[in-house]
Amino acid sequence: MIFDSKYSACESKQKIVVSRENGNEHILYNKSGCNIYQYHIDGGIVRDSHGERCDFMVEAELASVVNVYVIELKGSDLNKAISQILKTIDAYKGQLNRCQILPRVIIHKATTHDIHGKKYRDFKKAYPGTVVKVRQYSETV
């Protein structure tokens, strides 16, 4: 477990976990019935202004692996979202060292320049499971 379960904003085997902010949302369907924890990072666990952090982390404990969805819900700045996710991963790397890290950026709009830019390409190479979607993204674990 990344953080103590008392910081989780959902029940341990909750069927649907929604991370929502500013009109964007990430929905995770827990069809496997695994233990799942949703942590509100920016403004929740991290309440100070000592650097950038992502909005949410959702941890799904599967039998063979722990998936950690590192979620940033953003207006239109993809590069800033990437920076926030990277700083969050770096800040909690000790807790994440045995996890499969799955970055998720849900954005109002992304420019073509950002999607084809070097920062995004390098990020996608480091984290091949990265997903960038507009307004809403849902997936199943």
Residues 113-137 have pLDDT tens digits of 788 889 999 999 999 999 999 999 9
Q: What is the mean pLDDT of the chain?
A: 92
pLDDT digit string, tens, across residues 26-39: 999 999 999 999 99
Residue 47, domain extent: 5-140
Cα(96)–Cα(114) distance, integer angstroms: 27
Neighbours of 116 (CB within 10 A): 9
For the whole model, what pTM was predicted? 0.93
Q: Please tell me the predicted confidence (pLDDT) of residue 47.
A: 64
DSSP assignment string, 8-54: -SS-TT-SEEEEEETTEEEEEE-TT--EEEEEETBTTTB-S-SS---
The count of domains in the chain is 1
Length of the chain as a residue count: 141
- Of the candidates 106, 107, 95, 100, the residue with the CA atom closest to the CA atom of residue 127: 100
CA dihedral 51, 54, 56, 62 (to 10 degrees): -110
